[in-house]
Amino acid sequence: MSAKHPLPPLRVALVSDTHNLLRPELLAFVEGADAIVHAGDICDQRVLDTLAAIAPLTAVRGNNDHGAWAEALPAQTTVAFAGVRLAVVHELPDLQGDPAVEGIAVVVSGHSHKPMLETREGVLYVNPGSAGPRRFKLPISAAMLTIGDDGALDVEHVNLVE
């Protein structure tokens, strides 16, 4: 008989609105993550290349993403980690489908630059905020989604810069 050992939690870094600014604080935050999800407004392929060199990357196109590299990105995508399905879209009003009906556990969006976490119909809606240039007095932030071996979800927003 072999004892079942719990798997370590899976850590998914949630990032949005970098606007071509890769802060050292963001790179330190995503280091060690099992995956990275970028919810758009990337603004340069170099940002994607840098993040993809750190961990597997899923990204969508934002309203400020233009050019051939950006056209290759979907406006919305779905990705699964440890059986937990995430829908990713830049602007929440553009979300297609019904996440609760489609078995989506987490919807990740950006655009507003405002960190947000709420539950609607059993689905977590997360905006990690903006990891790029400061807008107004909004924080410079990202979020970490932790998926426990039992499927439990935890989201923690982190201010990258004071």
- Ordered by start, the domain boundaries in the chain are 10-161
pLDDT digit string (tens) for 62-81? 999 999 999 999 999 999 99
Regarding the domain delimited by 10-161, which CATH topology (the fold level of the hierarchy) does it fall under?
Purple Acid Phosphatase; chain A, domain 2 (3.60.21)
143 burial (CB, 10 Å; 0-12 / 13-18 / 19+) is buried
Report residue 135's pLDDT band, with 50, 70 and 90 as the boundaries: confident
Q: Amino acid letter at 137?
A: K
Q: What is the pLDDT of residue 1?
A: 46
Give the mean model confidence (pLDDT) for residues 145-154.
93
Record the pTM.
0.94
C-alpha span between 112 and 148 (Å, rounded)? 29
3-state secondary structure (DSSP) of residue 155 = strand
